Structure 1
Amino acid sequence: MLSGLLLSCSLASQPHEKDDVEVLEVDAPSYTGREGDSLREACSGWSLSKNDVKRFFQSSNSYRDSPYGEFYQVDCSITGRLRADGRVWDYEINGGGTARWKAEGEVRHWGCEASECRSLVLLPPDAMSGE
């Protein structure tokens, strides 16, 4: 019960229509891990289209703070730019299913546990359960 309460407290209620996202740019994946790590090859093969990025954010929950502890942190991410809420944001989607938007000193945090995101990330969060 307490964990459910904590989760609901960390979820944000930011004013944002998820359908109002226009993805402007999608960059190639960026790997920041150690040389020789097997993740490097997986990272280089990961790609998202503009539509994939939009689907990721449509399926994601927004959070007040980074949902770091609820998702794997992968040394691979895809960045780009999108338009939402009348502003242009820089976004970063981590291969573990977290993301953030940055614009004009504001940061918004996202995480996607939905089944729709399984094919969009390298290591879905449900993999943390060991199932």
Structure 2
Amino acid sequence: MPASTFLPHLAWVLMLPMLGACQSQVRSGSASPAGVTVLEIAQADYQPADGSGSSDAEAAACSAWSLDTHQAEAFFGLSEQLPEGGLHDFYWLPCSIKGRLQAEGREWAFEINAAGTSTWRSSDDVRLLGCSRSACEPFVILMPQQPVE
């Protein structure tokens, strides 16, 4: 297996045992960030890219990852809108959580990627957000190389 294929799989395998410990540190009773209310949230969905060859470790890590409405609101409160090209500072995992939220007087569909990014969509408006702060670590599976404090 080439290193470029092996390394992402290795990251999943190494992080799987830590996932349970991280999830237990998240406080579900935390207050919502001002103006963001999660209306609906689904379970994590594992969808490996075509031809990438999924693994049991990846699928297990994704199914073990979950966020409740309060955790998703806290994640959004820590996230920042990404400038054009800012998505390149983050990894991508074939695992995401979808839902709906209320913000700025309208409803948005959202998708949180397990590597710390999210996409909000409302009509023709699309926003990309990312969280590289260390406080986001309990909410995701894989953080960027150097989390910001």
TM over 0.5: yes
Counterpart in 1 of 2:128?
A: 109
Query: Which residue, 44, 50, 54 being the options, matches 1:29?
Result: 44
CA RMSD of aligned residues (A): 1.6
Corresponding position of 2:24:
none
Counterparts in 2 of 1:66 and 1:38: CA distance versus 1, 3 Å: farther
**Could you state the TM-score of these two structures normalised by the residue count of structure 1?**
0.79
Aligned mates of 2:91, 2:146 — CA distance in 1? 9
CA drift of 1:52 comes to: 0.5
- Identity fraction in percent: 38
Structure 1 segments (4+ residues) deviating >2 Å? 34-37, 64-68
Give 1:1-131 correspondences, 5 Å limit.
Answer: 19-33=34-48, 34-65=53-84, 67-126=86-145
Structure 2 alignment gaps of length 5 or more: 1-32
| Post-superposition offset of 1:92 | 0.4
How many aligned positions are there?
111
Q: CA deviation at 1:39?
A: 1.1
Please say which of residues 106-115 and 57-66 is displaced more in the overlay.
57-66
CA distance in 2, matches of 1:65, 1:27: 28
TM-score scaled to structure 2, two decimals?
A: 0.70
C-alpha deviation, 1:115, in angstroms = 1.3
Q: Which structure shows the higher strand fraction?
A: 1
* Structure 1 alignment gaps of length 5 or more: 1-17
